[in-house]
Amino acid sequence: MKITVVTNNPHKAREISLFFEGVAEVTHVALECPEIRHDSVRKIAMKKAEFAYEEIHTPLICDDTGFYIHALRGFPGPYAAFVQETIGNEGILRLMEGISDRKAHFETAVAYADGRDIRVFSGKIQGRVVRPRGEGGFGYDPIFEWRGRTLAEMSPEEKNRISHRARALERLRDFLAPGR
């Protein structure tokens, strides 16, 4: 079976390709998909997959990730990338000054379209917003702590194993190759 990952990020494509070893042959295409402005990453990923399938007519995966800080009512949510580019982690920490509820989660939604149907699988990781630590990762990784360490303090392999994206991809793999 062949699956195309729709992404501009070749690194992400490779990560997914390793993930599906033995289940599917993964290629990637850098197709520009219009993204909807919506609070739900599941809905965003689904609409991207719908659009992409109309363009390339082959089984494919699209994904989307959000970062939700509970005390900030879900901010920055699906706009995590824009918020990272504008106010950054410094801005997030300013907003969290003096706030004791530090809970936050990442959510990745992976949408799989095969022409018959579009299925969406999501994965979450719950953690806490902390002062930056660690040299790895990117984006919010240094300020997101999971079980005592930030994502930026983990090796890429470890992060890929426990991440929100990994959890979503696992669910998709179980769907494609049940009981494997």
CA distance 118 to 107: 19
* Secondary structure class of 137 (helix, strand, coil): coil
Taking the CA atoms of residue 139, residue 140, residue 142 and residue 148 in that order, the dihedral angle to the nearest 10 degrees is -150
CB of 97 to a second copy, least distance (A): 7
User: What is the footprint of a second copy within residues 83-142 (CB under 8 A)?
Assistant: 83, 85-87, 91, 94-95, 97
CA distance 127 to 22: 32
Instruction: Report the residue number, 23 or 72, with the smaller CB distance to a second copy.
Output: 72
Applying CB under 8 A, which part among 78-86, 100-108, 117-125, 171-179 lies near a second copy?
Answer: 78-86
For position 170 contacting a second copy by CB under 8 A, the verdict is no
For position 75 contacting a second copy by CB under 8 A, the verdict is yes
Residue 76 near residue 65, CB atoms below 8 Å: no
The reply to whether 64 belongs to the active site is yes
For position 73 contacting a second copy by CB under 8 A, the verdict is yes
* Contacts made by residues 22-25, CB under 8 angstroms, sequence distance 24+: 22/180, 23/173, 23/176, 23/177, 23/180, 24/176, 25/1
* Count of positions on this chain that bind a second copy (CB under 8 A): 25
Instruction: Report the residue number, 82 or 175, with the smaller CB distance to a second copy.
Output: 82
For position 165 contacting a second copy by CB under 8 A, the verdict is no
Instruction: Report the residue number, 17 or 84, with the smaller CB distance to a second copy.
Output: 84
Instruction: Report the residue number, 27 or 86, with the smaller CB distance to a second copy.
Output: 86
Which residues are part of the catalytic machinery?
A: 64
Contact residues toward a second copy (CB under 8 A) are 34-39, 44, 47, 72-79, 82-83, 85-87, 91, 94-95, 97
